[in-house]
A and B are shown apart, each in its own frame.
Chain A
């Protein structure tokens, strides 16, 4: 049997390489790491216990993950998204809110422009850290597909985070007037 040889044109090869590269780029950009909001942590003067550098890095990353999950949960009415990053009061409240907004046919889109976290209290036994977050958020509220309202402003939050088996969780997330600080 005669063996036939297939010839690939250089143009086809270039197109294939381009498609592959685009897919890699798309996968990379769709990963949670790529879409995490910017979080900057300032822990100067933290009391009664100073923070270790690794703990600070972990907290900033997991707070960013928590906001990423929160934004998805509020936009797509998926309360399951907050299971990984939230516990306690924060989780209970968000779960209830998502359930009620789903029932009402609402959803909220958060365009996250970043967070400036200031650690203000870290308990000696390492079981609780309180932080103040100055976040720049654009919050769009929809009823179905109808845009009801857009708020583009600075938001202040008092945050309580506690460590779990392998990560830090948001235990309390309370928005406050920026005049509070």
Chain B
């Protein structure tokens, strides 16, 4: 081919571009060290290293650092124990000069669930009151970031069980459910393949419903007793729940708090003439009565 100024310029430009490409670190690394872009945690692999003679091999990972002398121009084994933690790894081989490459280790198959159920006690028939969150980890406790389906199995005491499948996002699956109308324990189990984690919460009675009391007088003393206190679903409020009785008579206003015992609340007032008495439990007001020392009106 005849050498012309145009051909000479084209050759110069081509060589310059090639030289520039060779100077780019990523390109040079790719030529020297061929590493897989992504490796599963706990799986060793082999790379080939160009060159001759002895060199130094470095592997820098999230929880592990390796430095050893290697023979260049052969295969280099990366042990499974070197790549257990998920994350980015830097691989450097130094002979007369150093070359490096990076690769990512991703989590292996799910092997552990970290499961949280909140709260530990919840009132019955309350919408969106139970939260379940499951974090998915592999056998090396790396968060599994690829989407997986977690099956939340909900088993209320004495009721039909239900199941809900939720896909993980960034390793987390969560859901929110209503509490059921009946008090008692509810077991929620998070299941993913053969991994299961169960948690139990207690459903308790909600606020009192139809709170009523009656009074019996004896002289100037009134003995007050509520009917059995239940919520709107018929669940008995637990013993120890505080009930407040308020009396207004000539002596003024007086409030007494008393706990529920055996399903009812009782208390006794001394009266100074006719007295107006009302009862409340939490935010719920019950009936109001007027009693006199001679008897109930």
Chain B's nearest CB lies how many Å from the CB of A129?
11
Q: Are B143 and A172 in contact (CB under 8 A)?
A: yes
B171 at the interface (CB under 8 A from A): yes
The listed residue with most A CB atoms (<10 A of its CB), out of B61, B85, B87, B170, is B170
Q: State in angstroms the CA–CA spacing of A130 and B170 once bound together.
A: 9
**Which residues of chain B from 110 to 169 have a CB within 8 Å of any chain A CB?**
116, 118-119, 131, 133, 135, 141-143, 145, 169
Which chain B residue has the least Cβ–Cβ distance from A125?
B118
Q: Are A106 and B58 in contact (CB under 8 A)?
A: yes
Which chain B residue has the least Cβ–Cβ distance from A157?
B87
- Chain A residues contacting B85 (CB-CB under 8 Å) are 93
A65 at the interface (CB under 8 A from B): no
- Chain A residues contacting B88 (CB-CB under 8 Å) are 155, 175
A145 at the interface (CB under 8 A from B): no
Return the CB mask of B48-68 against A: 1 if under 8 Å, else 0. 000000001010111111110
**Which residues of chain A from 83 to 136 have a CB within 8 Å of any chain B CB?**
89, 92-94, 96-97, 100-101, 103-106, 108, 120-121, 123-125, 127-128, 130, 132
A148 at the interface (CB under 8 A from B): yes
**Which residues of chain A from 144 to 181 have a CB within 8 Å of any chain B CB?**
148-149, 151, 155, 158, 160, 172-177, 180
B174 at the interface (CB under 8 A from A): yes
B76 at the interface (CB under 8 A from A): no
Q: State in angstroms the CA–CA spacing of A172 and B107 once bound together.
A: 13
- Chain A residues contacting B169 (CB-CB under 8 Å) are 120-121
Chain A's nearest CB lies how many Å from the CB of B9?
34
**Contact A132-B170, Cβ < 8 Å, known A100-B64, A149-B100:** yes
Select one of A93, A123, A143 contacting B58, CB under 8 A.
Answer: A143
A48 at the interface (CB under 8 A from B): yes
Q: State in angstroms the CA–CA spacing of A89 and B31 once bound together.
A: 35
Q: State in angstroms the CA–CA spacing of A96 and B60 once bound together.
A: 12
A141 at the interface (CB under 8 A from B): yes
- Chain A residues contacting B142 (CB-CB under 8 Å) are 174
- Chain B residues contacting A93 (CB-CB under 8 Å) are 62-63, 85
Q: State in angstroms the CA–CA spacing of A55 and B254 once bound together.
A: 43
Which chain B residue has the least Cβ–Cβ distance from A92?
B63
Q: State in angstroms the CA–CA spacing of A128 and B170 once bound together.
A: 14
Which chain B residue has the least Cβ–Cβ distance from A132?
B170
Q: Are A120 and B90 in contact (CB under 8 A)?
A: no
Chain B's nearest CB lies how many Å from the CB of A147?
9
Which chain A residue has the least Cβ–Cβ distance from B98?
A148
B35 at the interface (CB under 8 A from A): no
Select one of B106, B118, B143, B171 contacting A124, CB under 8 A.
Answer: B118
Q: Are A174 and B119 in contact (CB under 8 A)?
A: no
Which chain B residue has the least Cβ–Cβ distance from A127?
B116
**Contact A120-B170, Cβ < 8 Å, known A106-B58, A128-B133:** yes
Q: Are A123 and B60 in contact (CB under 8 A)?
A: no
Q: Are B65 and A174 in contact (CB under 8 A)?
A: no
Q: State in angstroms the CA–CA spacing of A108 and B100 once bound together.
A: 15
Q: State in angstroms the CA–CA spacing of A128 and B172 once bound together.
A: 11
- Chain A residues contacting B56 (CB-CB under 8 Å) are 143
Binding site for B on A (CB under 8 A): 48, 89, 92-94, 96-97, 100-101, 103-106, 108, 120-121, 123-125, 127-128, 130, 132, 139, 141, 143, 148-149, 151, 155, 158, 160, 172-177, 180
Binding site for A on B (CB under 8 A): 37-38, 56, 58, 60-67, 85-88, 90, 92, 94, 98, 100, 102, 104, 106, 116, 118-119, 131, 133, 135, 141-143, 145, 169-172, 174, 176
A-B contact pairs, 23 of them (CB 8 A): A48-B131, A89-B141, A92-B63, A97-B60, A104-B65, A108-B60, A121-B169, A121-B172, A121-B174, A123-B174, A124-B118, A124-B176, A128-B135, A141-B90, A143-B56, A158-B143, A158-B145, A158-B170, A158-B171, A174-B86, A174-B143, A174-B145, A180-B145
- Other CB < 8 Å A-B pairs besides A96-B64, A124-B118, 7 of them? A93-B85, A104-B66, A104-B67, A106-B65, A139-B90, A141-B60, A177-B104
